[in-house]
Structure 1
Amino acid sequence: MRYALYFTPPADDPLTQTAAAWLGRDAFGGRDLQIGETGTFPTEVFCELTADPRRYGFHATIKAPFSLADGRSEADLVEAFDRFCSAQPAFDIPSVVVDQLGPFFAIVPADIHKPLQDFAAAAVEAFEPFRAPLSDADVARRKPERLSEAQRNHLMRWGYPYVMDEFRFHMTLSGPVETHLAPAMHALATDRFSSFTQRPLRISGLALFVEPDRGAPFTVLTWKPLAGTENL
């Protein structure tokens, strides 16, 4: 069993519901959904292109999936999670856009936002005592030979290469998209999420996700509002 700290809006948020219909899965209920309009893509092609994020559910990684360290229990983790969320102030990312990250598409900040970077770094550090060390196989899966020196150092120190100075917030919308399909995917995603982009994204809470077995779909174990959410 593995756990992860992911940002996602609340279950009833319109962005959550739109993204669930896009991916064909609701991580809050663990339910498969009928995928909505797929534009120029045949449904089976679109399903293949979104298979990777579908398993994880709509989210942005804050602390990547980890097994519990010896002597730590799920109850301990949930208690620490509740304390962390209660102490962290809610905030807005000033503007988000649909963009391409390598071969993937995602909703990302229009610009790097320091409060977001600080929030993610605080979560990575706060929950490090709960993370079991990576196995050799875990390290190999990250292909350290392809990482920069800073990313390799983060992998060995924090269990994930894209943290601290390497962290880039992204809410994944697709798996790898071949070059000739990228313009159509960008157009479709931009249209589908137009109600949520070019405007602020509220970071009002944090979710603790769970993966019961390696390779199984992730689901939301608990979602907790951040401090001051009601005042935003």
Structure 2
Amino acid sequence: MTRYAVYAVPGLLGESDDPIAAGLRSTVEAWYARPEFHDLTVDARRYGFHATLKAPFRLAGGRTEADLRAAADAFAASHHCVLLPALRPANLGRFRALLPHGDDSAIRMLADEAVRSFDVFRAELDDADIRRRRPETLSARERVLFEQWGYPYVFEEFRFHLTLTDPIPPARESEIDSAIAAHFAKDGHGCDVLLRSIALFIEREPGAPFEVLSAHPLATPSADADLQETA
């Protein structure tokens, strides 16, 4: 069964639009490609370089892919580009990810609005969806959010992150942390990055890699100037 997701992907529009974001994306993709760590980037590579705004979902009855793309166009056109402050590798539980360090209120607001706006396209959770999320491992609040919105890490539980690894065994933490620090020493370490678009991703069948379906530019060029004045 096909699933869709709404993701934030810095650098998706290309180097001509933003060489810093495009360079960061290239650096992360080079990290995923390192064969010595393939056993710890299986899911990271399958989902691709992204941060979740609206988690993967099946289309609700009566909704089409064309409807979803039109909604993504409208959503993006009504929201400005978002500054992601000081992105750098950090721990996220047993995962490693690029996290913003600074005021992340703008990206949190964008994510909150994406969760609400795109929920009309989400089919109700089925048994497979519920089993995949392992609700018995969730807190009481996460369980409520999962049942209402199809994903437990939304609103106050949301934390913007660009995933670099799958869960890391404790015995390999030092090795992986050193490798990540060296890999991102020049690019993608402490950069302010402008998110210029949202993207629709598609999983064409269960277990297939997520692919970029379409990119939807945020705001108008004037938003860049506004962000620079307030940065």
- The bucket for the TM-score relative to the shorter chain is 0.7 to 0.9
Counterpart of 2:127? 136
- Whether 1:18 aligns to 2:27 is yes
Check conservation: 1:95, 1:199, Cα contact below 8 A. yes
The one-letter amino acid of 2:31's match is W
Per-residue deviation at 1:21? 1.7
Counterpart of 1:113? 104
Q: Deviations over 1:128-161 (max 9, x none)?
A: 0000000022112211121111100110000000
Q: Deviations over 1:87-136 (max 9, x none)?
A: 11112122222111121110011246111111100001000000000002
Alpha-carbon distance between aligned partners in 2 of 1:222 and 1:86, rounded to the nearest angstrom: 14
Q: Which runs of 5+ in 2 are unaligned?
A: 15-21, 225-231
Alpha-carbon distance between aligned partners in 2 of 1:8 and 1:193, rounded to the nearest angstrom: 18
Matched residues, percent identical? Answer: 41
The one-letter amino acid of 1:22's match is W
Name which of 191, 194, 198 aligns with 1:202: 194
Give 3-state SS (helix, strand or coil) of 2:110's partner: helix
Alpha-carbon distance between aligned partners in 2 of 1:166 and 1:84, rounded to the nearest angstrom: 22
Counterpart of 1:227? 219
Matches within 5 A, 1:142-157: 142-157=133-148
The one-letter amino acid of 1:146's match is T
Matches within 5 A, 1:150-229: 150-194=141-185, 195-229=187-221
- Give TM-score, length-normalised by structure 2: 0.88
Residues 1:121 and 1:231: Cα distance change in structure 2 (over 3 Å): closer
The one-letter amino acid of 1:83's match is A
Alpha-carbon distance between aligned partners in 2 of 1:229 and 1:17, rounded to the nearest angstrom: 24
The one-letter amino acid of 1:190's match is A
RMSD across aligned positions (CA): 1.5
Counterpart of 2:18? none
Per-residue deviation at 1:230? 6.0
Give 3-state SS (helix, strand or coil) of 2:191's partner: coil
Per-residue deviation at 1:200? 1.1
Moved over 4 A (4+): none
Check conservation: 1:8, 1:206, Cα contact below 8 A. yes
Alpha-carbon distance between aligned partners in 2 of 1:219 and 1:116, rounded to the nearest angstrom: 23
Give 3-state SS (helix, strand or coil) of 1:4's partner: strand
- Whether 1:102 aligns to 2:111 is no
The one-letter amino acid of 2:189's match is T
- Give TM-score, length-normalised by structure 1: 0.87
Check conservation: 1:90, 1:205, Cα contact below 8 A. yes
Alpha-carbon distance between aligned partners in 2 of 1:167 and 1:204, rounded to the nearest angstrom: 20
The one-letter amino acid of 2:27's match is T
Check conservation: 2:11, 2:195, Cα contact below 8 A. no
Higher helix share: 2
Give 3-state SS (helix, strand or coil) of 1:95's partner: strand
Alpha-carbon distance between aligned partners in 1 of 2:184 and 2:194, rounded to the nearest angstrom: 15
Per-residue deviation at 1:191? 2.4
- Whether 1:74 aligns to 2:57 is no
Counterpart of 2:83? 92
Name which of 111, 117, 120 aligns with 1:126: 117
Alpha-carbon distance between aligned partners in 2 of 1:189 and 1:170, rounded to the nearest angstrom: 15
Q: Deviations over 1:179-217 (max 9, x none)?
A: 121122112212222322223121211110000001100
